[in-house]
A and B are shown apart, each in its own frame.
Chain A
Amino acid sequence: MQEKDILQEEIKEVEKLLSVNKLTKENATFSETKGGFITLLLNGEEKGQVNVICTFPFTAPNEFLSVRTADDKAEEIGIIEDLLAFDEQTVAIINKQLEMRYFMPEILKVYSVKEEYGHTYWSVLTNKGKHKFTSPSGSSGSVIRTENRVIIKDSDQNRYEIKDVTKLTPKEMKKLDLYL
């Protein structure tokens, strides 16, 4: 009797694990708490605080967002296939959290890039102010380039983004050329 129950329970759990819950503007309402966290109301059921995670942070930051519980287990509640299908306010709330989660200062100007002893020393202007950082050079992981977008990871794994390298001045390009 009890054996059966356990097995049934297990099967249910597996089924739950394998099913994908689609979150749409019809079934899901996101709202912001005073503290700036996101809560979710799904099919009329209060899900409490949730975290939103990009499944394709580089190639499709607005698609297939995974919504998870904010506790240690971080269980998936559902997936938003297209964020832009939601109303403006929801998009704004979620984007705000995504910006925090995928925090990445944008490099606007490159003052100097210098390589010494296997490490690259950067001095840049970002949208968050002037900054200097060090990235390990040579290791393919520290610079990710997709078309014209460049993401640089420093020794602390902090990330910096150059949205469009072609928009840099030729002088800056020349400085960067060897490092990208």
Chain B
Amino acid sequence: MSEKRPLSEMPESLKQLVDTKKLLGSKLLVFAEADMNTNCEFCRFVLLLTKTALIVGTNNKLGFADPNKKETDFSEFSFTSYSIKDLNNPKITTFVVGGMLSAEIDGEQTPICAFTNAYKGRVMRVCEILNALIKNEEIKEERLFEEKHDEFCHKCGMPYPEKNRKICPKCMDKRKIFFRLASCFKPFKIELAVICVICILSALVNSVWPILNGSLLYDTVLAKNKANSVFEALPFEDFAVFLLILVLMMVGVKILQQLFGIIQGVLVAKIVPKVVADLKNKVFASIQHLSVSFFTGKETGGLMSRITSDAANVTNIFIDGLPFILPNLFTIIFSCVVMFSTSPLLAAVAIATLPPAIIISIKLEPVLWHYNSRRFQTARDFRAKLNDNLTGARVVRAFGREESERVRLQKVNGNVAAAQSDAMNFDVKYTALYHIAQSLSSVLTFTVGAAFVLAVFKPQMTYGTLMTFTGYVSLLSGPANFFSFIFRWWSDSMNSAQRIFEILDAKPEVTEDPNAEPKTEIKGDITLKDVTFGYEENREVLKNVSLSVNAGEMLGIVGKSGAGKTTLVNLITRLYDVNEGEILIDGVNVRDMRFCDLRKNIALVSQETYIFKGTIFENIAYANPSADRKAVIDAAIAASAHDFICKLPDGYDTQVGSGGRGLSGGERQRISIARAILADPKILILDEATAAVDTETEKNIQASLKKLVKNRTTLSIAHRLSTLRDADKLVVIDGGKIVEEGTHKQLMLQKGEYFKLFQIQSKALAMRGIGD
């Protein structure tokens, strides 16, 4: 259950002010903030609604609120109180962005304040409750609560980037996420440990190279001087042998380097795909438990498409990032120790000249990423355009727009090329600049080092030591670079991880009562009591709807599009939960029933048919996977689908769905009816089941439906009223309310909305020659 908070909740400082000034005559019902005055200039407002008065406070200071301040300073506010008795017709005039609250005062509609979208919800609640107060309606306690929504991060005061996602990317606890993520790698503890050891070993081996390649080669072997070297203890004197040993050592180091690389590669190849797949599986599994509302939310749509890349993103840092932290740190320390012990002065020079390269990397790398992301963006646009054109090929040709389409595509393609060349240009410049900075550092170190070798500075340095030294300097640049981007990489990965966890942790809005009594057999009585529901806050789609259907009866639901017919059905199947009132099946609240019992006993045939990828047999058996061939064929015959299926070359084994054989609208519809027949539900819901098919097919489907509705409670929504003639009862819904109720005969006699609709339809059908 989501958290609710009272609408009267207000900032502490305001509360104190209100208390000391004794502004409220009675209990506060709703508190709201607004951010614009009636001239649409930014200005802070507060609205306090009590049972008897609306109190409006403002500081009359123009300008945006300081976004860094977490709380407004209310001490400078002046307040005006309007008695509810003096107010009439409170109204929100909606603008493209935000709106304005006004009310009739002294017979004149007077604006009170305006607001942007950020404050819209609360001000609308003020208007709604104010309206109820003026009309003397009873205000139920639950209307004075709202879902908890915060717009700003509590820590840093920045607005949340996504409204429905209360996560501040800056302030989220990345460590917590990290450790949670680390648990995904638990099965691979040993492998990860091996990777870490290998990384350290390879860092060690790498650090040896400058010694072999520098002082040992030049100062010992080539200078034929084994004093102060690892060769000193050896019993030979022949430097050709030393050279051989050195070469062997060098070859050994190189082989070791490659060997470590191979072991690491193999382990990574073993871990990464498994962890990524595991993450994706978990995400998919938890998505299956979420309510329908999750899928209709716009933000979640975007979230989904990112899941795949997020999973990979998250895993990468564990494999390509973290194991290298220690070795890189080790390399830095080892190099520094060697450098400083060899020549502190030269080491200082080398370290001092490193920052330019690091700064360039830190500053310019993000810009490079930006150019690249723009490149991807334009490439995506291009693909979308191409897709648009190819799928709409028939329309393009029908309107003779080939030329203009070509020009349009050319333009998008131009953008791709421009973005690509921008990115490449920048990349070239960046790389050059980075290398110049790096080379400068090496050249400078080398120059100063050469001065040591030439004994300009004391103490004198050997050529080999200088070579070793510069070797370490260049060895340093790798880790320096690594640490310059690992932090950003880490943040991005943790953000990806956070998104994954959000889905894993998402709580379904419609939840099953764990104590629900099993009820496998139901009769099919349906009762709705004062049901009120809206998909969004403050926008009710159904208002106080009450109706009842007896088991085995057919109820026809009639109304204009957008009247709330499908919503009604969504509530009975419990795809959504009602806001107020209750829905009973056999006298039991649907909230107290197990999902499996509910879903097993209700089947839905809607105009939106969905055919899954698979065979026709599998598609029909979807409702009841244990059904045998005979049952499926019987269902198909009952749905008038058997005939067309038999005529397909592969019969019931025909592959359908994406990539399979295309089916016509009527064929798909009949398969979904067969599915419903096979499910053998006690309650059948037909939501415009025949809206998308031709008259001939409709007749067939109607015939099959007639068989189907026998002995079941049927709710049927239809535009074509003639299909509802046999209904035991009809309800007409308009604007979320039931406006008429009765049998076809009764309603025709009433000569109301239904009569009017029926007359228009039968006339219109008669004119088209398809009347009944």
Docked complex: A118-177 residues within 8 A CB-CB of B: 118-119, 121, 126, 128-134, 136, 138-140, 155-159
Residues of B within 8 A of A129 (CB): 42, 62-64
Residues in B with CB closer than 8 Å to A70 are: 93
Q: How far is the CB of B117 from chain A (nearest CB, A)?
A: 4
Chain B residue at smallest Cβ distance from A9:
B756
Q: Please, what's the 1-or-0 string for B735-759, where 1 marks a CB less than 8 Å from any CB in chain A?
A: 0000000000000000100001001
A178 touches B759 (CB 8 A): no
Q: Give the docked Cα–Cα distance between A129 and B163 (Å).
A: 24
B562 to chain A, nearest CB (A): 13
The answer, among B62, B102, B760, for a CB contact under 8 Å with A10, is B760
Q: Which residues of A contact B108 (CB under 8 A)?
A: 33-35
* Bound Cα distance A115, B97 (Å): 24
Which of the 9-residue segments B20-28, B365-373, B535-543, B552-560 touches chain A? B365-373
Interface residues of A in 15-67 (CB under 8 A from B): 33-37, 49, 51, 57
Task: Number of A interface residues at 8 Å Cβ cutoff, please give it.
Answer: 45
Answer yes or no: A93 CB below 8 A from chain B CBs.
Answer: no
Q: Which stretch, B154-162, B214-222, B452-460, B512-520, touches the partner chain A?
A: B154-162
Partner of B96, one of A102, A132, A139: A102
* Docked complex: B361-420 residues within 8 A CB-CB of A: 367, 370-371, 373-374, 377, 381
Complex Cα spacing A118 to B370, Å? 11
A6 near B756: Cβ-Cβ < 8 Å:
yes
Bound CA–CA A139/B298 (angstroms): 12
If over half of B's interface residues share one DSSP class (helix, strand or loop), that class is named, otherwise mixed; here it is mixed
Q: Does A12 contact B (CB under 8 A)?
A: no
| Bound CA–CA A6/B760 (angstroms) | 8
Q: How far is the CB of B728 from chain A (nearest CB, A)?
A: 26
Q: A156 to B170, Cβ gap below 8 A?
A: no
Segment 83-123 of B: residues with Cβ below 8 Å from A: 93, 95-98, 100, 102, 108-111, 114, 116-118
Bits for A98-111, please: 1 = Cβ < 8 Å to B, else 0: 01111111000000
Would B97 and A158 count as touching, CB distance under 8 A? yes
Q: How far is the CB of B262 from chain A (nearest CB, A)?
A: 36
Contact of B491 among A7, A117, A155 (CB under 8 A): A117
The verdict on B40 contacting chain A, using a C-beta distance below 8 Å, is yes
Chain A: CB-nearest residue to B369: A115
Q: Is the CB of A101 within 8 A of B95?
A: yes
Q: Looking at A100, A121, A132, A138, which has the most chain B CB atoms within 10 Å of its CB?
A: A100
B763: interface (CB < 8 Å): yes
Does B297 touch A at the CB level, under 8 Å?
A: no
Q: Closest approach, in angstroms, between the C-beta of A35 and any C-beta of chain B?
A: 4
Contact A156-B116, Cβ < 8 Å, known A103-B40, A104-B97: yes
**Which of the residues B40, B67, B118, B373 comes within 8 Å of A138, measured between beta carbons?**
B373
Known A2-B751, A7-B760, A57-B96: A100·B163 in contact at CB below 8 Å? no
Q: For window 35-74 of chain B, which residues contact chain A by CB distance below 8 Å? A: 36, 38, 40-42, 62-64, 66-68
Q: Which residues of A contact B110 (CB under 8 A)?
A: 34-35
Residue A88 at the chain B interface, CB threshold 8 Å: no
* Contacts known (A140-B381, A178-B374); A6 close to B170, Cβ less than 8 A: no
Provide the residues of chain B in CB contact with A155, threshold 8 Å. Answer: 159-163
- Residue in chain B with minimal CB distance to A99: B40
- Name the B residues within 8 Å of A102 (CB-CB): 95-97
Which of B63, B100, B492 is the one whose CB lies under 8 Å from A100?
B100
Interface residue B495 (Cβ < 8 Å from any Cβ of A):
yes
B169 at the interface (CB under 8 A from A): yes
Contact A101 B96 (CB under 8 A): yes
Give A37 to B105 CA distance when docked, in angstroms.
14
User: How many residues belonging to B are interface residues under a CB distance threshold of 8 Å?
Assistant: 50
A114 to B617, alpha carbons, bound, how many Å?
A: 55
What residues on B are CB-neighbors of A156 within 8 Å? 116-118, 163
Q: Are B96 and A103 in touch, CB under 8 angstroms?
A: yes
Interface residues of B in 650-693 (CB under 8 A from A): none
Chain B residue with the shortest CB-CB distance to A101: B95
Q: Output the nearest chain A residue to B763 by Cβ-Cβ distance.
A: A7
Residues of B near A136 (CB, < 8 A) are 161-162
How far does the alpha carbon of A33 sit from the alpha carbon of B105 in the complex, in Å? 13
B192 to chain A, nearest CB (A): 27
The yes or no answer to A116 lying at the interface (CB within 8 A) is yes
List A contacts of B769 (CB < 8 A): none
Q: What is the distance, in angstroms, from A171's C-beta to the closest C-beta of chain B?
A: 15
**Is A117's CB under 8 angstroms from B492's CB?**
yes
Closest residue of chain A to B492 (Cβ to Cβ) is: A117
The residues of A that contact B759 with a CB separation of less than 8 Å are: 3, 6-7
A119 to B491, CA, bound (A): 14
Q: CB of B235 within 8 A of chain A? A: no
CA gap between A74 and B304 in the complex, in Å: 37
* Contacting pair A128 B169 (CB below 8 A): no
Residues of B close to A101: CB separation below 8 A? 95-96
Question: Known interface pairs A35-B108, A37-B109, A136-B162. Does A100 touch B373 (Cβ–Cβ under 8 Å)?
Answer: no
CB distance from A41 to the nearest CB of B (A): 17
Contacts of B41 in A (CB 8 A): 128
Instruction: Let me know if B159 and A103 touch, CB within 8 A.
Output: no
Nearest CB of chain A from residue B326's CB, rounded to whole Å: 27
Asked if B649 lies at the interface with its beta carbon under 8 angstroms from chain A, I say: no
Contact status B161-A117, CB under 8 Å = yes
Say whether B42 contacts A117, CB under 8 Å: no
Tell me the minimal C-beta distance from B222 to chain A in angstroms. 53
Of all chain A residues, which has the CB nearest B62? Answer: A129
Asked if B587 is at the interface of the complex by the 8 Å CB criterion, the answer is no
Q: Is the CB of A158 within 8 A of B161?
A: no
The 0/1 profile, CB within 8 Å of A marked 1, for residues 340-374 of chain B is 00000000000000000000000000010011011
- Please give the distance in Å from A100's CB to the nearest CB on chain B: 5
**A49 & B109 in contact (Cβ 8 Å cutoff):** yes
| Highest count of chain B CB atoms <10 Å: which of A104, A130, A178 | A178
Q: How far is the CA of A64 from the CA of B110 in the complex (A)?
A: 28
Instruction: Assess whether B491 is in contact with A128, with CB atoms less than 8 Å apart.
Output: no
Known A-B contacts A101-B96, A155-B162; the reply to A178 vs B169 at CB < 8 A is no
Residues B170 and A116 in contact, CB atoms below 8 Å apart: yes
Min Cβ gap B160→A in Å is 8
A116–B68 CA distance with the chains assembled, in angstroms: 18
Q: Which of B111, B160, B367 contacts A36 (CB 8 A)?
A: B111
- The answer to whether A128 touches B42 (Cβ under 8 A) is yes
Q: List 27 A-B contacts (CB under 8 A).
A: A6-B759, A34-B108, A34-B110, A35-B110, A37-B109, A57-B96, A70-B93, A99-B40, A100-B100, A101-B96, A102-B95, A103-B116, A104-B97, A117-B491, A117-B492, A128-B41, A132-B67, A132-B68, A134-B159, A134-B161, A136-B162, A155-B161, A155-B162, A157-B117, A159-B96, A159-B97, A178-B367
Given pairs A10-B760, A133-B159, A158-B97, 19 additional interface contacts (CB within 8 A): A7-B760, A34-B108, A34-B110, A37-B102, A49-B109, A99-B40, A103-B98, A105-B42, A115-B370, A117-B495, A126-B64, A128-B63, A131-B64, A134-B158, A155-B159, A155-B162, A157-B117, A158-B118, A159-B97
Which 9 interchain pairs have the tightest Cβ spacing?
A129-B63, A119-B161, A117-B169, A156-B117, A132-B67, A35-B110, A131-B64, A101-B95, A129-B64
Instruction: Identify the B interface with A (CB < 8 A).
Output: 36, 38, 40-42, 62-64, 66-68, 93, 95-98, 100, 102, 108-111, 114, 116-118, 158-163, 169-170, 302, 367, 370-371, 373-374, 377, 381, 491-492, 495, 751, 756, 759-760, 763
